[in-house]
Amino acid sequence: MREALAALFARGIPVVAYNAAYDFSLLRHECLRHGLAALTPQPVIDPLVIDKRIDRYRRGKRTLTHVAEHYGVDLSGAHEASADAEAAGRVALAIARRYPAQFGESALGLHTAQIGWARDQAASLTEYFIRIGRLEPHETLDEAWPVR
């Protein structure tokens, strides 16, 4: 899997991953555990980060199931890898069709924008968690994306 992804990234082909920070962080740690070079995932398209940027104040969960439903994307077989991967791609397409300006002119440009958006989202969530007492004032959430 690492080699297949590395080949895509080397060719500049974007990879869509819903909640990319989870998957690419897990992949990084597994690569290191098995003595493989860590992957530099770029460009990545993360429909979760984009959806949170576009529709910041929408109430409700942001799981793939809920976001797919919001954008009218069928997610039969949820939590099966192939079904989730297909739904993530279709959600990204649905968002791109609805909000084309958010996607910019290049996958690399979108990737770079998502780094800032994810950082802002983590900072906002940190403030909220401090306000409700879930974090202490000196604590922060990891703002890195797509690898933590």
Please report, in tens digits, the pLDDT of each residue of the chain (148 residues total).
999 999 999 999 999 999 999 999 999 999 999 999 999 999 999 999 999 999 999 999 999 999 999 999 999 876 788 999 999 999 999 999 999 887 778 999 999 999 999 999 999 999 999 999 999 999 999 999 999 9
- Report the pLDDT value the prediction gives residue 90, as an integer from 0 to 100: 97
Residue 124's identity, in one-letter code, is S
Nearest to 115 by CA among 89, 88, 140, 147: 147
Cβ(28)–Cβ(34) under 8 Å? no
- Report the pLDDT value the prediction gives residue 86, as an integer from 0 to 100: 95
Nearest to 142 by CA among 35, 7, 21, 11: 21
- Report the pLDDT value the prediction gives residue 77, as an integer from 0 to 100: 79
Q: Cα–Cα distances in Å, from 65 out to 17, 62, 84, 87, 133? A: 14, 8, 9, 9, 29
Residues 6+ apart with CB under 8 A from 94: 71, 72, 73
